[in-house]
Chain A
Amino acid sequence: GEDVEQSLFLSVREGDSSVINCTYTDSSSTYLYWYKQEPGAGLQLLTYIFSNMDMKQDQRLTVLLNKKDKHLSLRIADTQTGDSAIYFCADADYKLSFGAGTTVTVRA
């Protein structure tokens, strides 16, 4: 995948749900991933979805995939201050291609 696009910023109140959206262009991607990056740190794998699925739930995280529109979203339920970070979606066949990331700020 050469082009992955995300909105750059999201501000959410503590306890609300966050939804981060992503579009990608490479229809051959086998998996699509969500990573979290805290300041000065590496990337933490949050979750991933196989391209033949349309939804995956993992505790507070829900991933939705619309393969027809090449649209991926990550919903974080009950957002906490520790969820403040940059979130990257990435599409991959054998290597990851990243967008610029969405900076999520959780306000009290």
Chain B
Amino acid sequence: DTGVSQDPRHKITKRGQNVTFRCDPISEHNRLYWYRQTLGQGPEFLTYFQNEAQLEKSRLLSDRFSAERPKGSFSTLEIQRTEQGDSAMYLCASSFTDGSSGNTIYFGEGSWLTVV
């Protein structure tokens, strides 16, 4: 198992452009999370999926953000009409839970976004 994989690792884009990040979770993990982290802060929850269902979205996730997990495996996070305030590291995480055991959450290496 190679762990949680994110792509691209770094992205520089011009303001107003759209960007998409991909996350491949650990195999067989049924939960997938997206977090955002800015410099000097801890990660902030954006959204999570159980299999292909998006179960919760944070208030931080404006209508310019959309996340999908179409087949319950990989996920994409798209940001439309990027703004400079979107510059951050976007972290993906995954876990397996069956309701009777723990929910140990593993993170990927993150995707850095710089909006210029």
> Do A and B bind?
yes
CB pair B45 A43 closer than 8 Å: no
Report how far A45 CA is from B97 CA in the complex, Å: 17
- A99-B105 contact, Cβ under 8 Å, with A41-B110, A42-B91, A42-B110: no
Which of A30, A95, A97 makes the CB contact (< 8 A) with B48? A95
A44 to B97, CA, bound (A): 19
- How many residue pairs link A and B with beta carbons under 8 A? The number is 59
Interface of chain A, helix or strand or loop or mixed? Answer: strand
Q: Report how far A100 CA is from B42 CA in the complex, Å.
A: 4
CB of B83 closer than 8 Å to a CB of A: no
A100:B41 contact, CB within 8 angstroms: yes
Contact with B along A43-87 (1 / 0, CB 8 A): 111001010000000000000000000000000000000000000
- Chain A 16-51, CB within 8 Å of chain B: the 1/0 string? 000000000000001101010000111111001010
Question: In residues 22-70 of chain B, which contact A (Cβ within 8 Å)?
Answer: 31, 33, 35, 40-45, 48, 56
Chain B interface, number of residues (Cβ within 8 angstroms): 26
Q: Is the CB of A97 within 8 A of B45?
A: yes
Chain B residues with CB below 8 A from A43, complex form: 43, 91, 93, 107
Return B95 CB to nearest CB of chain A, in Å: 9
Q: By the criterion CB–CB under 8 Å, are B104 and A48 in contact? A: yes
- A27 and B44 CA atoms in complex are apart in Å by 20
Contact A31 B102 (CB under 8 A): yes
Please indicate the chain B residues that have their CB under 8 angstroms from the CB of A42 in the complex: 4, 6, 91, 107-110
Binding site for A on B (CB under 8 A): 4, 6, 31, 33, 35, 40-45, 48, 56, 91, 93, 97, 102-110, 112
Q: Which residues of A does B touch, CB under 8 Å?
A: 4, 30-31, 33, 35, 40-45, 48, 50, 88, 90, 92, 94-101
